[in-house]
Structure 1
Amino acid sequence: MAYGKKENDNEYLKLGDDLKSGDFKPYYLVYGTEEYLKLSYKKAFRKAFGGEDGMAYTFFDGAPDVDELIDLLNTIPFTFGDNNGRLVIVGDSQWFKKTPPEKLVKFLEDIDHYPDTAHLMFIESDVDKRGKLYKVIQKNGFACEMGVQDHGQLSRWAARYLSNAGKKIRSSTMDLVLSKSGDSMDNIASELEKLIAYTGEREIIEDEDVEIICSQNVEDRVFDMITEMSLGNTDRAMKYYADLLTLQEAPMKILSLMRRNFNQLLLTKESVTKGMTAQEAAKYVGVTPWILSKLQNQAKHYSLDGIEDYLSRCLDYDEAIKSGNLSDRMAVELLLTV
C-alpha cells in the first residue's frame, strides 16, 4: 500500500495526526534546518513506541550497518500487541545526499513484504530529492521538511505554547517577543519559559514583561547597529558594538554577522531588481517573509554600490585579521566609523 504525500510548508503537522490516531506509516523522513521541530517529533514518536528504555525502540546516530538494520526491522518486538510495534530512528545517515545502500533500497521498495510491525524514521539535515531512497520513502511513507517557520507560523505555535501553560498574549506583544528572540524555535521556547516563570499566576503577558525578561539576540543587535550606520548615527552604532562586547560577544562573530547582513541586503536589492514577489524574494534571500520586510526597510538607506563596498571591506578585514595585520576589534570599529 502506498502512503505517499505531497509536501508543503505545514506538512509536518500531519505527523501529529499519526501520533493521535496511532496509524503509523512504515517509513518516515524528516529533514531541514529547524532542529527544535525535529527533536520534538523524535521525542514524541519515541514515547509512542514505549520510550527510550523500551524494547521496541532503537536509535542509530549515523549510518548503521545495513544488515543489522534490516534484521532489526524484520524482528517482531516482544511487546507487540501492547503498543504500536517497533520504531527504528536513524539520525544523520547521509544516505540522502549520496548513493544509498542498494540492499536497503530494495528492502524498502518491497512494501508488500515489509513487516507490519516495523516503522523506520530518518532524521536528516539535507536531502537530495532525486535520490532513490528519498523517492521510495515519498512513495511508500511520508517525507516532510522542517525548515525555518514564517512569522505567522511562529506566532501561532508560540501562542499554543503559552496557552498550554495557561497564558494569554496579545498579537502585538507576541510580535515584540519574536522581534527579540529571532526565528529560532529553540530561542523562542527559552524566552517563553522565562515569561511563564516571571508572570507566575498572572494570566496575561504584557509588553512590559517582555521588555524586562526577553533578551535581544546578537543577530538583532547587529541588525540594529547596521541600521544606525545607514542613518549616519555612528555614536549609536558604536554603542551597540560596546554593548555586544560587554556581553562578551567575539568581534570575529560580530564581523561575520555584519558580513551576512550586508550579503542579505545585497540579495534583497537584487530581488527588487528582478521583480520578485515577496514569497520569491524571501526564498531568494533565504529568510522568512517577516525578516525580509525588515531587510527591505533597511535596504532603502543603502545604495547597491555602498553595500558592495561594505562586503568587500568585510572580506579585506577578514584576510587582514587572519594574517595578523589587523585586530578583530579594530576591524569592526573601522567598518562602523570609516
Structure 2
Amino acid sequence: MTYKDVIKNIKNKQFSPIYLLHGEEPFYMDKIVNYISNNVLDASERDFNQTIVYAKDTPPIQVVDAASRLPMMAERQVVIVKEAQEYTKASQWEVFESYFTAPSPDTILVFAFKYKKFDKRSRMYKLLAKTAFVYESVGVKDYELGKWIRAYVTEQKQQITDKGVALIAEFVGNDLSRLANELEKLFLLVEDGQQITEKDIEKNIGISKDYNVFELVNAVLDKDFQKALKIINYFEQNPKAAHIITVISNLLTLYQRLFKIHFLKTTDPRQIATTLKIHPYPAKEMLSKKSKHPPKIISRNFNILREYDLTAKGVDASGIPDAALMKEMVFRLLH
C-alpha cells in the first residue's frame, strides 16, 4: 500500500485507532501525518481534540493519558507522537501495552517512527500488527530517482528536461524531502508551460551546470581528459562541490553499466534502460560511446577505482589532497 492509498482511506473516513508509521524514508510519513493533522478534524474541533507531541519531550504515560481522554464536542480526537524513534527503550513501549491491546474507539493515535524500522521481532510490534495500521515507509533507490522526479513533476502538471532530471537527481540525491522542496522552488520560478531546464536548476538551486560530478562522469564517458581536468580544478577551488568518495562511486557505477551494456543482446536504449533500471537518456549516451570503453579496459579500471577508494578512505594514506588524487585517478582511467 502506498502513502496515497493510506491518505485515500483516511479521506474516506476508514480510520484505524492506531497508526504506526515507520521506516527509513520520512517523506511519506510526513505526508500522512500532515494529512491527518489537517483533515481528520474540522478547524473548530482541533483546539480541544488534537494533540501533537514530540517523544523526546513527552513520557509515554502522558501519551496514554491523552489518548484515553474522551473527545470534547467532537466525534473523535487525534493524538500524534512525532519522532517516536526517541522512545529507545523497550520499557518505554511497554507503557503502551494495555492501550495497544484495547485502544479507545474515539481516538486516532499516530506514531511517526522515523529514519529506521520498528523492530519487527519485538513483542510490541507483534501486538501493534494486530490492533494498528502499520505502514513502512521505504526510500527510493538511486536508480529509481529519475522515475520518481518525473512522476512528481508530472503530478504537479509541470515539465522537466531529461538532462534536468539527471542533474537534480545527481545533485540532491535520494533525500526526498529536500528533492521535493527544490522542485517546488523551481515550480514557482519557471513560467507556466515552460520546461525546467539545466539552466534553471543551475541558477536557482546553486549547482554549477558545467562543474559537477554528473559532468565529470560525462567527461570520462567521452574520454575528454581536458574537460575532466577543468572540472576537478573547480572542485579543488570549491571543496564542497564534490567529495572524492562520491566521484569514485559515480565512476564505478558508470563502468558497471558500460560493462553490462557490452554483453546485452540489444541496442535499444529503452530496453537497456529497463534492464539497467536507469533513465533512457543516460542509457542512450552510454550505448553510443561504449566502443570507447572495451571490456578489458573497464576491468582494469575497476581495479584502479578500488585502489583509489581505499586510499581515499585512509588505507595506506599518502597525505595527497583529494583533488590531486582525482587528477591522477582520472588520468590513469583514460590512458
- TM norm. shorter chain > 0.5: yes
Pair 1:191 & 2:178 matched: no
Give the aligned partner of residue 116 of structure 2.
126
Question: In the alignment, is residue 214 of structure 1 matched against residue 209 of structure 2?
Answer: no
Write out per-residue CA displacement over residues 115-140 of structure 1, whole angstroms, 9 at most, x where no aligned residue.
43242222321114333333333433
Cα shift readout 1:171-199 (whole Å, capped 9, x = no counterpart): xx453432221154433542343243231
Counterparts of 1:109-188 in structure 2, within 5 Å, are 109-111=100-102, 113-127=103-117, 128-140=119-131, 141-148=133-140, 150=144, 151-161=146-156, 163=157, 168-169=158-159, 173-182=160-169, 183-185=174-176, 186-188=178-180
The Cα offsets for residues 83-135 of structure 1, whole Å up to 9 and x where unpaired, read as x412222315156x875646246335414x54432422223211143333333
Which residue of 58, 76, 84 maps to 2:52? 58
Write the letter of the residue equivalent to 1:336: V
Equivalent residue number for residue 249 of structure 2: 260
Once the two structures are aligned, what percentage of the paired residues are identical? 12
| 1:226 matched to 2:217 | yes
* Matched position secondary structure for 1:319: coil
CA contact (8 A) 1:63 1:93 kept: no
- Match for residue 72 of structure 1? 66
Distance change (3 Å), C-alpha of 1:324 and 1:193 = same
Gaps of 5+ in 1: 1-6, 276-281, 283-287
Q: Distance in 2 between matches of 1:155 and 1:87?
A: 35
Provide the rounded CA distance (Å) in 2 between the counterparts of 1:57 and 1:100: 23
After superposition, residues 1-338 of structure 1 pair within 5 angstroms as 7=1, 11-48=2-39, 54-55=47-48, 56-62=50-56, 64-78=58-72, 80-81=74-75, 84-93=76-85, 99=90, 101=92, 103-104=94-95, 106-111=97-102, 113-127=103-117, 128-140=119-131, 141-148=133-140, 150=144, 151-161=146-156, 163=157, 168-169=158-159, 173-182=160-169, 183-185=174-176, 186-199=178-191, 203-206=192-195, 209-215=196-202, 221-245=212-236, 248-250=238-240, 253-262=242-251, 264=253, 289-290=277-278, 294=282, 297=286, 301=293, 303-319=298-314, 325-338=319-332
- Structure 2: gaps spanning 5 or more residues: 265-272
Paired AA for residue 278 in structure 2? W
Q: Distance in 2 between matches of 1:49 and 1:21?
A: 10
Deviations 1:134-182 (A, max 9, x none): 3333433131324117344432322122x3xxxx53xxx4534322211
Q: In 1, are the aligned partners of 2:60 and 2:93 still within 8 Å (CA)? A: no
Judging changes above 3 Å, is the alpha-carbon distance between structure 1 residues 260 and 58 closer, same or farther for their aligned structure 2 residues? same
Q: Distance in 1 between matches of 2:93 and 2:84?
A: 18
* TM-score between the two structures when normalised by the length of structure 2: 0.70
User: Structure 1 residues 59, 131: closer, same or farther in 2, change over 3 A?
Assistant: same
Q: In the comparison of the two structures, how many residue pairs are matched?
A: 298
* Alpha-carbon distance in structure 2 between the residues aligned to 1:324 and 1:93: 41
AA of the residue aligned to 2:330: L
Following TM superposition, by how much is the alpha carbon of 1:310 offset from its aligned partner in structure 2, in angstroms? 1.0
